[in-house]
Each structure stands twice: as C-alpha cells, then as structure tokens.
Amino acid sequence: MMSLTINECAKWLGSRDRFLIISHSRPDGDALGSSAGLCQGLRDNGKIAYTLFNPEATGRYKEYTEPYIAPEDYKADYIIAVDLADTGIIQVNAKKYEAAVDLCIDHHMSNKHYARSELLLSDRASCGEIIFYVLRELEASISPFTAKALYMALATDTGCFRYKNTTAVTHRAAADLIEAGAPSGDLNRDFFMLKTRSRLLLEALMLQSLEFFMDGEAVMAVVTLDMMNKAGVTEEDMDDIAVISGQIRGTETSITLRQINDAKWKVSVRTGVYANANLICAEFGGGGHGMAAGGSIEGDIDTAKDIIKAAVKKHWKSQ
C-alpha cells in the first residue's frame, strides 16, 4: 500500500484514465456527493469516469447519482473507492472489487488500508473536503455542479458545520465551493431544515424509547421496524436519524439502534468530550471517527443493548 499526499493523489489521477468510482453500503451524503463530485471533476479534466450504481442510494440523491452511472459494458482501468473505510461494508454490488481497489480516498481513522494506493486524512471533516482539495490541484476549475456535490458531501458529514469535526479548513473549503457555485442556502434548507410528516412522527416514537445510563450522561434510542411502519417512513426519511438522541443537553454519548431485520441492528454512536465512538464501535466490529462511528450487532434488542452498554462503559473516558 502506497500512502499519498493531496498533491501526489492529484498527479496519480492526472496520469491515468478510465475510472470507476465505488463507495460503501447504505450510502450517505458524503459517499454520494464525493462520488459525484470526483466523477464530474475528473470529466472536467478530460478523463473518462463513471460511478458504480449503488442500489441502496435513495431518491433524495437522484441528481447526484443518475448522470454518472456506468453503462453495463463499461470496462474501467482503475477502481477508486471514496469514503470507504473497510471492504466489509463495500456497496452490495461491488464485492468483486474488494481486492481490486487501486486508490482509496477516505477520512476514517478506522480505515483498513485495503487499496493499492490511498489518500487518508483522518483529520478532515469529510471525504468531500479532501476531494475538493485534490481537484483544485488539477488543471480544470471547479464547476458549479462539482461544487454543489462536494458542498453537499461536506455539509452532511458535519451536520451543517455543527459537529466538532468541523475545522477552519472545512470552512475555507465550503467558502471556496460557494464561490464556485454551490447553492449553500438551498442545500442547507433542503437537508437540515425540511422534514416530512412521517419523519417527525418517527422522531416522536424515538423520544418515547429513550433509555439513559452512565448516570444520565449516555442515552440510547431505538428504531424498530414496527415504529418505522407506524410512522410510514421510507428510506429517504432515515438520513441523519442518529442525531436525534444527541440533542439532549447533558448527555456525553448518544446511541441509536436501528432494526434491520429480526436479528440484526445497525448501531450509530455519537460522542462529545471524553468518550471515543470509534473505540466503542470497535468492540463489536465497527468503527469510524472519534466522535461518530457505527457498526452492526446480531441478536435481539436486549442482546444489542447489553453489548452497547458494556462497550460504552469500557471506553467511557478514552477520547
């Protein structure tokens, strides 16, 4: 594995062509915005680039995915993974590329170093932020759509610049993207202010499920399949669901358990000052960042809760 700097990554891209861009399962705004922004940026620099269709991407991101999906007969010379820390969570239709990734661009400290070359900057707030600085090293200017996609990636992974991973560098990247044409006001309203009626109903059910522990400084919220059915939510309503319990003043750590099927739970952990989300999630095979991480647990709800509580207690003051 060869570790690259931003400048070296730009040179790597500039000296190659025919790219296919992949990401992780259950893709979020950073994964999809980074994929679209990188793809358009490479095309603006005269490259042939496509993204691999991700069947789990929701309709909310349609404008960022549809223009770049690779034709079925497309043959790439280089595979690029963005925002993918571990091939264990590679998008469901990309399993054949697990051992064939030529370049990984990522910001997760839990990255497994699976690619032949990688640009890994764990101090950056989002993968989109890194890609912006890479594209800026290439010849073509940042187009308005590239700016829109990368701003969306950056904003969604920082909670509209509210999370502690937001730095001065993040704000400078956002400012440059706005100057390049990103409609920040429209994007911020769409992603962070507007909610569907069904989403609000689900949030009400989640609040009823709250369970506090660690002397009230840790809180756990549950989202069952039954709750989702009662609220009438779709997958598009589930974006950023993990932030709900973390809004409670006085809590250090918030956990969201989302039921996937009868025996599997998706876990999202958010921490504040003195707990490490990455270490907590590593206890059950997950990972991510110090203040935001995730994973999955097999078993019933009581088993999942017990595993989470034990992991939180073990790493309570490990930031």
pLDDT recorded at residue 272: 87
**pLDDT tier, 63 (very low <50, low <70, confident <90, very high otherwise):** very high
Tokens matching residue 200: 């609000």
Tell me if residue 102 falls in helix, strand or coil.
coil
Q: Per-residue pLDDT for 133 more than 70?
A: yes
CATH number, residue 144: 3.90.1640.10
What are the backbone angles phi and psi of residue 134, rounded to the nearest 5°? Answer: -70, -50
Contacts of 306 (CB under 8 A, 6+ apart): none
Is the domain of 25 the same as that of 166?
Answer: yes
Residue 19, token pair as written in the block? 């790219």
Both 36 and 161 in one domain: the answer is yes
φ and ψ at residue 39, rounded to 5 degrees? -60, -50
pLDDT at 62 over 80: yes
Mean pLDDT along residues 221-239 = 96
d(CA 131, CA 9): 10
Residue 99 CB contacts under 8 Å (≥ 6 apart), including other chains: 87, 114
Radius of gyration of the chain (CA): 19
Say which CATH number the domain at 241 has.
Answer: 3.10.310.30
Please report which confidence band the pLDDT of residue 318 belongs to, taking 50, 70 and 90 as the band edges: low
CB 140 within 8 A of CB 180: no
DSSP run (H or E) holding 305: helix 301-314
Q: How many domains does the chain have?
A: 2
pLDDT score, position 171: 98
User: Does the pLDDT of residue 319 top 70, yes or no?
Assistant: no
Tell me the per-residue pLDDT of 69-87, one tens digit each, with 9 for 90 and over: 999 999 999 999 999 999 9
CA dihedral 233, 237, 242, 245 (to 10 degrees): -60
Mark whether 177 and 216 lie in a shared domain.
no
Which residue range forms the structural domain that includes residue 164?
Answer: 2-192
250-303 residue pLDDT tens = 999 999 999 999 999 999 999 988 899 999 999 999 999 888 999 999 999 999
Looking at 164, 192, 220, the residue that finishes a domain is 192
